[in-house]
């Protein structure tokens, strides 16, 4: 081929159909906004969302059963076992969280999103938009675009694809975080913090990618891995690049010291958006981080493992200790999410278990994330149902005696909290056992013991809330609103999943173990 000839790009449509379906669904949602009259948009957007998730899930199951794995799109995407697990989890948890966007009954016919997000909070324009019943139905398309970015991020096989996926995943979330109907100023402040800090983290990641490219001359993970094990020249470039990329990745995971955005964004964003990002972003970010550190720079693990171990300890400590002082339910769940980031990083640190065929780190990480996902979608679904005079009852004291008012909701929230705590017979217990076993057999016994200690500290907080719900006097002025199936479905699935995989973890662990290998 001469220098003037350009090879036509290749795109494997069938293996990538689960991703293409989500992108086409997002584009279809944009077209709905342009051609459908406003009163009919919401119901059509919900139909497009459900159809998109069903089609994508159907292709995913078919492709996985047919064994369609490999490196696709001219080396840009790696469709291997962990990628299939990520895509399936994102479709399940992301689809349920996006479905909660359609909830209207809790807001007396209004959604959780601002009637006119571009107006000044409290202005006449905002009040007029609320009176005439306007709403932002484009939130479904934004969610699907973000979902597509999550799927690509965890399956990216080179640094450029990963960076683009990072932006596609993040940009819609910056917008969605600013669109809360209640507490609009808090929502806009949270979105601005998220955007500014997210931009900095993306810049760090890109700068780190440039340094790694300067060291290896490669953007693909397999090429970087070959350079790491075969060259000693330019080591400072490699170590600097790994450190800067870790900043960008750990920011998305919500690990210390890059966790400051988590409590503010979780509190300020609309509750359905918080549930969506809490599991969707964390799942994609952890799988992406694992792919980079295991596949691209696994040969340098003796350099990055001790650093990640320290990050895991600090993250568990900050999350567990700070959560003890919280009086707001969403901030409590935010600091809980930070501590869980530390627990899952503990599993990542067990990477050298891969080299000697001991307990495998990848299935442990994936099981933990799935268990966390079930508890998370249930918890945030319930948060949206418990109401006071001014909207959601977010003060922890307002949840006292909840079992008297609605035993079903109280039991569901208790199951989520017990799974967070890692109490036996819940999926969270199996998840924590798996990541701690990974760290222990990977040579980091002290880290596993530290994790158990912080788990006990966090369990005190969760059990304190459970005791308050079942044995304290009911708080006045707080009620559990009647919700639609769009809000109840995530709660039901999350509660059942937390119990089912706590009692019967074997089939899921076997499935994850069979799909543990990253392609290079």
Mean pLDDT of 510-515: 88
DSSP 380-415: HHHHTTEEETTEE--BGGGGTTHHHH-HHHHHHHHH
CA 330 vs. chain centroid, Å, equals 16
CB 238 within 8 A of CB 226: no
Kindly state the tokens that stand for 253.
């995971």
Sort 397 into a burial class: Cβ within 10 Å, 0-12 / 13-18 / 19+: exposed
What's 113's DSSP letter? B
pLDDT confidence of residue 179: 86
pLDDT band at residue 3 under the 50/70/90 scheme: low
Q: How much is the pLDDT for 192?
A: 92
- pLDDT at position 356: 42
Can you give the pTM of this predicted structure? 0.94
Under a CB-based contact definition with an 8 Å cutoff, are residues 417 and 423 in contact?
no
pLDDT bucket at 357, cuts 50 / 70 / 90: very low
Q: Which two tokens stand for residue 88?
A: 């399936």
pLDDT in tens, 37-75: 888 888 999 999 999 999 999 999 999 999 898 899 888
CA distance 331 to 26: 31
Q: What are the tokens at 141? A: 């398309």
For residue 354, the model assigns a pLDDT of: 45
Residue 360 has pLDDT above 80, yes or no: no
Using only C-alpha atoms, what is the Rg of the chain? 22
Please, which residues bridge with residue 392 across strands? 387
d(CA 438, CA 461): 26
- The number of beta carbons lying within 10 Å of the beta carbon of residue 51 is 13
- Per DSSP, the three-state class of 72 is strand
Question: For residue range 258-296, what is the model confidence (pLDDT) as tens digits?
Answer: 988 999 999 989 999 999 999 999 999 999 999 999 998
Please enumerate in sequence order all residues whose Cβ is within 8 A of that of 417, keeping only pairs 6 or more positions apart, or say none.
375, 379, 462, 463, 465, 466
Cα→Cα distances 335→77, 147, 192, 376, Å: 33, 24, 20, 13
> Is the CB of residue 57 less than 8 Å from the CB of residue 93?
no
Higher pLDDT, 254 or 108: 254
> What average pLDDT does this structure show over 408-422?
94
Contact (CB, 8 A) for 449 and 316: no
* Average pLDDT over the chain, rounded to an integer: 89
Burial class (CB within 10 angstroms; exposed 0-12, middle 13-18, buried 19+) of 507: exposed
Residue 89: which of 359, 281, 320, 290 has the closest Cα? 281
Q: How many other C-beta atoms are found inside a 10 Å radius of the C-beta of residue 282? A: 23
Q: pLDDT by residue (tens digit) across 334-356?
A: 999 999 999 999 999 986 544 44
- Contact of 109 with 49, CB cutoff 8 Å: no
Enter the DSSP assignment of 78. Answer: E
What is the SS3 assignment for 71? strand
Cα–Cα distance measured from residue 501 to residue 516, given in angstroms and rounded to the nearest whole number: 19
């Amino acid at each position: 081929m001469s220098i003037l000839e350009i090879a036509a790009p290749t795109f494997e449509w069938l293996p990538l159909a689960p991703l293409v379906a989500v992108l086409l669904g997002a584009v279809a949602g944009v077209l709905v906004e342009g051609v459908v009259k406003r009163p009919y948009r919401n119901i059509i957007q919900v139909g497009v969302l459900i159809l998109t998730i069903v089609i994508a899930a159907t292709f995913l199951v078919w492709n996985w059963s047919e064994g369609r794995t490999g490196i696709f799109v001219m080396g840009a995407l790696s469709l291997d076992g962990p990628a299939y697990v990520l895509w399936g989890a994102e479709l399940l948890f992301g689809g349920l969280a996006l479905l909660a966007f359609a909830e209207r009954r809790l807001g007396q016919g209004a959604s959780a999103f601002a009637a006119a997000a571009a107006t000044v909070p409290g202005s006449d324009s905002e009040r007029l938009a609320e009176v005439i019943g306007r709403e932002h139905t484009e939130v479904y398309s934004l969610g699907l675009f973000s979902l597509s970015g999550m799927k690509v991020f965890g399956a990216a096989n080179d640094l450029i694809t990963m960076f683009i996926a990072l932006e596609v995943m993040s940009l819609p979330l910056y917008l969605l975080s600013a669109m809360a109907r209640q507490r609009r100023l808090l929502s806009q402040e949270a979105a601005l913090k998220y955007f500014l800090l997210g931009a900095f983290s993306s810049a760090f990641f890109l700068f780190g990618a440039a340094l790694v490219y300067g060291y290896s001359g490669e953007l693909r993970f397999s090429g970087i891995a070959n350079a790491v094990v075969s060259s000693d020249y330019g080591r400072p470039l490699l170590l600097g690049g790994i450190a800067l990329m870790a900043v960008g990745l750990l920011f998305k995971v919500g690990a210390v010291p890059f966790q400051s955005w988590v409590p503010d964004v979780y509190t300020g964003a609309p509750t359905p958006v918080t549930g969506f990002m809490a599991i969707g972003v964390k799942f994609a970010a952890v799988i992406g981080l694992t792919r980079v550190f295991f596949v691209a720079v696994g040969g340098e693990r003796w350099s990055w493992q001790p650093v990640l171990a320290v990050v895991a300890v600090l993250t568990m400590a900050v999350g567990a200790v700070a959560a003890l002082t919280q009086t707001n339910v969403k901030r409590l769940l935010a600091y809980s999410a930070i501590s869980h980031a530390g627990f899952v990083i503990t599993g990542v640190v067990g990477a050298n278990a891969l080299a000697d065929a001991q307990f495998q780190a990848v299935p442990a990480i994936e099981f933990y994330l799935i268990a966390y996902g079930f508890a998370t979608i249930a918890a945030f679904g319930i948060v949206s149902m418990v109401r006071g005079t001014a909207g959601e009852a977010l003060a922890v004291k307002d949840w006292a005696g909840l079992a008297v008012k609605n035993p079903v909701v109280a039991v569901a929230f208790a199951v989520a909290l017990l799974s967070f705590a890692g109490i036996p017979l819940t999926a969270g217990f199996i998840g924590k056992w798996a990541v701690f076993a990974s760290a222990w057999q990977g040579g980091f016994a002290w880290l596993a013991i530290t994790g158990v200690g912080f788990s006990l500290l966090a369990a005190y907080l969760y059990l304190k809330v459970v005791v308050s719900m079942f044995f304290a006097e009911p708080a006045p002025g707080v009620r559990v609103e009647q919700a639609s199936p769009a809000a109840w479905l995530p709660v039901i699935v999350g509660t059942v999943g937390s119990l089912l995989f706590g009692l019967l973890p074997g089939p899921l662990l076997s499935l994850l173990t069979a799909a543990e290998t990253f392609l290079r």
